[in-house]
Amino acid sequence: MSTALTPTARGVLRRRRDRRERLISGGATTALIIIVITAMSPFVWALLTAIKPFRQAFTNPPTWIFTPEVDSVTDLWRGTIFASVLGNTLLIAVVTVMVALAIGAPAAYAFARYAGIIGPLLLLFAIVLRTIPRFAVVLPFYELSQALGIYDTRGALIAALVAINMPFTLLLLVGFFRDIPEELDEAAMIDGCTRFGAFVRVILPVMGPGVVTAGVFTFLIAFQEYLVALTLTQNNAITIPVFIAAQKGADDISTYQSLAAASVLLVIPVLLIAVFARKYLVAGLGGGAVKG
């Protein structure tokens, strides 16, 4: 007895399948839109607060039609040390990325290429260290920086951020290195390269998206870190999150707009990085990320 479907039945099944796929796609799109709106609403609200005239910034119900002003940004930039704090935060984040990649890339390459029990154990130990809560490690860093006389310096903060975030960098990079065939290393060494030469001349160029991905995530973590920066800085090396938290606001409504402007300016570098590095992030995250 034949079980072949008639053309009419196949058409009905195809239409049902297409309808189901459209429903799933529409549901996923709707959920994504809701998530994006929810995630972006605090930033949009802070932006509106920062650019509204003072009298309209705190009305209830909110004022939606207004003439934008930048007085809050001007006051923040000229009347506080925000400009120097922003430069300090960018410098610390960039140097943290450079040091983390300079140490993490060769280490991750070694973990990915050399077989044995020591490498996986060290990587597992690094992952365990990454799971330790921040507040459990910042006090030892504080005591150490005081003992070495480097408290409230960029160097102390950079060293702490590199140490705390190195397990994440290693874990991310190891997955990328494992995606690269070992035949590339062997071919480079047959052509006369040393192992380190093959790593620098052949593997790293291929690893471009992966390195950029690890660097971007390390930058974001360092740029927005609060607890470590709060513990290891006081005046000279404070970062934007510490600066914002130190401003009085709960009892002085006149500072709300400046705080909103500072929050917006904190997010802008992150958005710019996400926009300009998006193709590397997509290529990197799609290339393997973490694999066992």
* Amino acid 285: pLDDT: 56
Is 115 in a helix, a strand, or coil?
coil
Global pTM reads: 0.78
Class of domain 72-286: mainly alpha
Say yes or no to pLDDT of 211 above 70.
yes
Say yes or no to pLDDT of 291 above 50.
no
Q: Which of 15-19, 60-64, 85-89, 132-136 has the highest mean pLDDT?
A: 85-89
Tell the residue number behind the tokens 């049902």, with chain if given.
16
Distances (CA, A) of 67 to 60, 70, 73, 256: 18, 10, 15, 18
Pair of tokens at residue 267: 């997010």
* Amino acid 161: pLDDT: 92
205 contacts: CB under 8 Å, gap ≥ 6: none
Q: What average pLDDT does the segment 22-41 reach?
A: 87
Q: Where are the domains of the chain?
A: 7-57, 72-286
Say yes or no to pLDDT of 288 above 50.
no
Is 65 in a helix, a strand, or coil?
coil
* Amino acid 245: pLDDT: 82
Residues 242 and 228: their CA atoms lie apart, in Å, by: 10
Say yes or no to pLDDT of 14 above 50.
yes
Give percent above pLDDT 70 in the chain: 89
Q: What average pLDDT does the segment 231-237 reach?
A: 88
* Amino acid 290: pLDDT: 42
